[in-house]
Structure 1
Amino acid sequence: MRGFRRMASAAVLMVLGLTGLAVIWSAYDPAQSWLAVTLGTVLPSFLAVGLVVAGFWVVVTDELDGQTATRMLEWSVAGMAGVGTLGGLALFLQRQGYVIHRPLYVVTSTVVSGALAGFGIGFYEVWTDRQRRELEREREKLDHLNRLLRHHLLNGMNVLLAKVDLARERTDDLQVTADLDDAHVRGEEIVTLVEQVSAIAGPDNDPPSEVDLPQLLHGEVERLRATRNDDAISVAEPLPEVTVRSSPALGEAVSVLLKDALADGGRATVSAAIDGDGILVNVTDPGKTKADGGEQFLGGPGSDVGLSVADVLVERAGGELEVGKPHGSVTIRLETV
């Protein structure tokens, strides 16, 4: 059963459209020129028919409930009040002694035009609001899936890596030890990949704030040094004492680039330089080369994924990511405060 508000909204629109048609055609004069007939009768008639069709659509569609139908009617009424004011002005001028031909026609045409325009605005608002809610629902599903994947997969990989470590301690076979070492490295790569994908799959709700860039870079370097070889990461001192407006995604991006550079036993150097009104942060991996002797991008296996993740994070942080192929480096371009 159709809701009362929905049926009432449709009835108002159709009655308004039919009334407009009756008034418009009552003023039809076949002696007028074709241009006058087109502008004065045909075009307004199309607008009135549009209102009738809109009311019929409200009745038959499954896309609306009572609340959204009422909202569209409210916009139609607002349009009538807004544009219909011009018709009211015509009546006022007539009372002041001005000659206004067919004042009822003028009022009806402006009211119909305003109602149809308001309905269009209401339809757009309802449609965009529905799209936004659908996107929010899909986002919630993805966030839930991301949390499940991160929790179960990382827990499973941590157990697997622990068992690999135990197996290495219990064997003296050099070949088995080498295979277990390789399994451990590949397992760590999977953990890193899951963490990187989770970083960009999560919600981006952190507002931008002023960030002390040298402090941020030193903090990310020290965090990685705590779990890796201290000599694997170096900082090109001194770093410029600047403040940038960014979000926590900037630190995550730097961390991803550093891990990418350190993949498979690599090294990384962090540097920064003032560039006009902005600053360039470089993460360079000088030790990795291609088989032909030319320099390559950062990282070993999975570096393309790392760069893609970093690109998304840098964009969230309000910067731009540039890959300096000739120098084996990746540059983050930021604006200073």
Structure 2
Amino acid sequence: MFDVPRPLKRWSLAVTGGCLATMPGVRLLVATDWVAAVLEGAVPLLLFVGVTYAGVSYAHRKSPRFTAVVTGWTLSVVAGMVVVALWITTLAHLAAADLAFGALTPIVTSVGALAGLWLGTNNARWREREHRLRRERERIDFLNELLRHYVLNAAQVIVGRADLLAGRTDDENATIIAETGRRMARHVQQMRALVSSDGAPWPVDLGTAVREARGSLDSNARLVTQVPDPCPVLADDALDVLIEGLLLQAVDRAGGEAVTIRLGATRTDGGVTVTVDDDAAEPAVEAVDPETIDTDNGVLQFQQYLVVTLTERYGGEVAVTNDEDGARIEIWLPSPESREDAFGNP
């Protein structure tokens, strides 16, 4: 299925407003009297300037999907009004006279009824979705509290007692229990990162997140980092979980063998590009769309889902390149400066 490129989605409304503004602009140039110039040129041109301004603002503040939906609705209503204008013009041409209010009333009311039906149906569906999302959010909050207060606390007790027992007896089973408990506690923290969000992202230092995430690597993994200091990006307190997911993907793909991971970050226009290279050739890193990632197919898929989902939460993008020597994952994250729109407003 063909998918519109993200940059085109992001700027679709601004491009639409700019293109539509050419019509009243031309009308303003060719108008022969000031009344026609104002009503047929200046006023519509100002309205289209407002649409273009909104498109530029959405491109900087909203997701590409949000902007694409607004553009679709805008073009649909524009197409409907063009049909109405053609209808009235054709009727006036056939009548060869000025149309009375009684003649226009059936046209306007029928189109208004159809438009009201369409908009009302979509609004009702939107309200139903909002209700379902609110109930789902309540269940997610309950799950978050359950994981934090019961499962995570219980895992920490198991780890503490297992470490104590292993230190006293040198029992290998106690060591295994402690390691398994730590792994379970970390997976719980990753799950909490997926279900919890405090709203809009805020500036978080990437270097600090990398230092926190590298503690999850075992002795078989060698990490080489090159991150500017400081390096703020728009994220939240789960940024270290995102970086950890990137690192653990390489570790899981290595299957217990030695692996070298190189993590670098470069500042780009409006954001920071994080690049993670590894020398684990198999299995390949494939999907970057959360809907196509099979999270039931092992921890590797879960780490991949975690990375893609958190990146999208922050308004970033993911790209994957595989070759015979390993894989490269590139993540673009917006910088705090990207929150300023094109007119310099924060």
Name the TM-score, length of structure 2 as normaliser: 0.51
Counterpart residue identity of residue 272, structure 1: G
Q: Show the 5 A alignment for 1:243-282.
A: 246-248=234-236, 250-259=239-248, 269-272=261-264, 274=266, 280-282=273-275
Q: 1:223 aligns with which of 197, 212, 232?
A: 212
Q: 1:221 to 1:262 in 2, by over 3 A?
A: farther
Give, in whole Å, the separation in 2 of the partners of 1:185 and 1:297.
27
Counterpart residue identity of residue 276, structure 2: V
Give, in whole Å, the separation in 2 of the partners of 1:206 and 1:189.
29
The answer for the alignment partner of 2:11 in structure 1 is none
Q: 1:151 to 1:257 in 2, by over 3 A?
A: farther
Q: 1:106 to 1:162 in 2, by over 3 A?
A: same
Given that 2:233 and 2:333 are in contact with CA atoms closer than 8 Å, whether structure 1 keeps it comes out as yes
Counterpart residue identity of residue 333, structure 1: I
Q: Is 1:179 the equivalent of 2:169?
A: no
Summarize deviations over 1:200-221 as a string: whole Å, max 9, x none. Answer: 1223622365x6xxx513x124
Summarize deviations over 1:176-234 as a string: whole Å, max 9, x none. Answer: x222222222222111111112111223622365x6xxx513x1243356787899664
Q: 1:190 aligns with which of 172, 184, 190?
A: 184
The answer for the alignment partner of 1:137 in structure 2 is 135
Summarize deviations over 1:17-47 as a string: whole Å, max 9, x none. Answer: xxxxxxxxxxxxxxxxxxxxxxxxxxxxxxx
Q: 1:123 to 1:325 in 2, by over 3 A?
A: same
Summarize deviations over 1:257-297 as a string: whole Å, max 9, x none. Answer: 235556769666443265986764233455xx6xxxx6557
The answer for the alignment partner of 1:315 in structure 2 is 312
Work out the percentage of aligned pairs sharing the same amino acid: 25
Deviation at residue 136 of structure 1 after TM alignment: 1.9
Q: 1:268 to 1:283 in 2, by over 3 A?
A: farther
| Uncovered stretches (5+) of structure 2, i.e. residues with no partner | 1-83, 92-96, 286-297, 336-346
Q: Secondary structure of the equivalent of 1:170?
A: helix
Given that 1:284 and 1:328 are in contact with CA atoms closer than 8 Å, whether structure 2 keeps it comes out as yes
Deviation at residue 321 of structure 1 after TM alignment: 4.4
* RMSD of aligned alpha carbons: 4.5
Counterpart residue identity of residue 303, structure 1: L
Q: Secondary structure of the equivalent of 2:274?
A: strand
Counterpart residue identity of residue 275, structure 2: N
Q: Show the 5 A alignment for 1:155-166.
A: 155-166=153-164
Given that 1:267 and 1:285 are in contact with CA atoms closer than 8 Å, whether structure 2 keeps it comes out as yes
Q: 1:110 to 1:279 in 2, by over 3 A?
A: closer
Deviation at residue 253 of structure 1 after TM alignment: 0.9
Counterpart residue identity of residue 234, structure 2: S
The answer for the alignment partner of 2:34 in structure 1 is none
Count of residues in Structure 1 that have an aligned counterpart in Structure 2? 230
Counterpart residue identity of residue 216, structure 1: L
Given that 2:220 and 2:257 are in contact with CA atoms closer than 8 Å, whether structure 1 keeps it comes out as no
Given that 1:266 and 1:285 are in contact with CA atoms closer than 8 Å, whether structure 2 keeps it comes out as no
Q: 1:273 to 1:169 in 2, by over 3 A?
A: closer
The answer for the alignment partner of 1:4 in structure 2 is none
Given that 1:143 and 1:203 are in contact with CA atoms closer than 8 Å, whether structure 2 keeps it comes out as no
The answer for the alignment partner of 1:128 in structure 2 is 126
Given that 1:168 and 1:180 are in contact with CA atoms closer than 8 Å, whether structure 2 keeps it comes out as yes
Give, in whole Å, the separation in 2 of the partners of 1:250 and 1:145.
21
Give, in whole Å, the separation in 1 of the partners of 2:319 and 2:222.
20
Given that 1:282 and 1:329 are in contact with CA atoms closer than 8 Å, whether structure 2 keeps it comes out as no
Deviation at residue 153 of structure 1 after TM alignment: 0.6
Q: 1:109 to 1:147 in 2, by over 3 A?
A: same
The answer for the alignment partner of 1:283 in structure 2 is 276
Give, in whole Å, the separation in 2 of the partners of 1:100 and 1:232.
80
Q: 1:329 to 1:195 in 2, by over 3 A?
A: farther
Given that 2:234 and 2:334 are in contact with CA atoms closer than 8 Å, whether structure 1 keeps it comes out as no
Q: Show the 5 A alignment for 1:57-76.
A: none
Give, in whole Å, the separation in 2 of the partners of 1:272 and 1:170.
42
Give, in whole Å, the separation in 2 of the partners of 1:136 and 1:184.
38
Q: Secondary structure of the equivalent of 2:263?
A: strand
Counterpart residue identity of residue 160, structure 1: I
Give, in whole Å, the separation in 1 of the partners of 2:182 and 2:328.
23
Give, in whole Å, the separation in 2 of the partners of 1:303 and 1:185.
18
The answer for the alignment partner of 1:35 in structure 2 is none
Give, in whole Å, the separation in 1 of the partners of 2:265 and 2:122.
48
The answer for the alignment partner of 2:199 in structure 1 is 205
Q: 2:151 aligns with which of 150, 153, 164?
A: 153
Q: Secondary structure of the equivalent of 2:169?
A: coil
Name the TM-score, length of structure 1 as normaliser: 0.53
